[in-house]
Amino acid sequence: MVIHRICFIVIVMISLITSGMSQDKQPVQLFSGSGKAVKYKKLLKDAQQADVVLFGEYHNNAIAHWLQYELTADLIAAGPVVLGAEMFEADNQEPLNQYLRGEIDYTGLDTLARLWSNYKTDYAPLVDLAVAHNLPFAATNIPRRFASMVYHGGFEALDELSDEQLAWVAPLPIEYDAELPGYKAMLEMMGGHGGETLPMAQAIKDATMAHFILQYFREGETFIHYNGAYHSDNYEGILWYLKLQAPDLTYLTITTVEQSQLKSLDAEHKNRADYIIVVDEHMTKTY
């Protein structure tokens, strides 16, 4: 009897210890934009009802990449989905399509497309989801050399492009508001270095990603787009261009932040997006 009681007490103690640790030590917490802690199922429900989901990530954040995969898989299970990403430039759409159709393997894709250094760990799982379910995957970003042209010479530099090259860029001339807080903050963060063309280079990326999202969007389907958080934070960037061209669609934004504590959302992060993924700042990075 005594042995049984001791065993029972040990089990209870272990349960209490592990329960306490699960409450005090966790790597991630999901919040609404206003700062209310929410469950994943609420995010999934709202994402299912949106036409376009902009998933803002920190490129080296393992938790963000994990949640991208989980959300995408759950959306696919619920209905038709289109995928797209900043990490593929528009002129790499054809090799990406060849990979999706099974005509080339990873080596072929790596040879023909400009894959990011963390592609294998962070983005290949998403592309392979599209392969497994026979789904389109849009290469939405402007070729980086064209964005560099804008940085060095403003939007006028794009007048040098051929018709074939212009097919990989948002239709010109693009709308541009230099007073948008995000673009102004970019200049302030750089201490004025880079001049007025620095946010222009950001804007041509945002405009081009919005353009190709709408090119690939199909009514009745959910388009989930993966991009750096700064491309959609504060309802600007890509979203600003999407609403300019397609104001009647429904949009959902997600962003990623890192904090030292996960009990509450820091004031500086509130209203940055519809949903905010708060990751413990000590979480291991993917690179």
Question: Which residue in the block uniquely carries the two structure tokens 């807080």?
Answer: 181
> What is the chain's pLDDT, residue by residue, as a tens digit (287 residues)?
444 433 433 333 334 333 444 456 799 999 999 999 999 999 999 999 999 999 999 999 999 999 999 999 999 999 999 999 999 999 999 999 999 999 999 999 999 999 999 999 999 999 999 999 999 999 999 999 999 999 999 999 999 999 999 999 999 999 999 999 999 999 888 766 668 899 999 999 999 999 999 999 999 999 999 999 999 999 999 999 999 999 999 999 999 999 999 999 999 999 999 999 999 999 999 99
Return the pLDDT at 106. 97
Angle at 182 between CA 180 and CA 188, to 5 degrees: 105
Cα–Cα distance for residue pair 236/239, rounded to 1 Å: 5
Do 132 and 105 meet the contact criterion of CB atoms below 8 Å apart? no
Q: How many CB atoms lie within 10 A of CB 114?
A: 14
Domains along the chain with CATH numbers: 28-280 (3.40.50.11550)
pTM of the full structure: 0.90
Return the pLDDT at 190. 72
Do 277 and 28 meet the contact criterion of CB atoms below 8 Å apart? yes
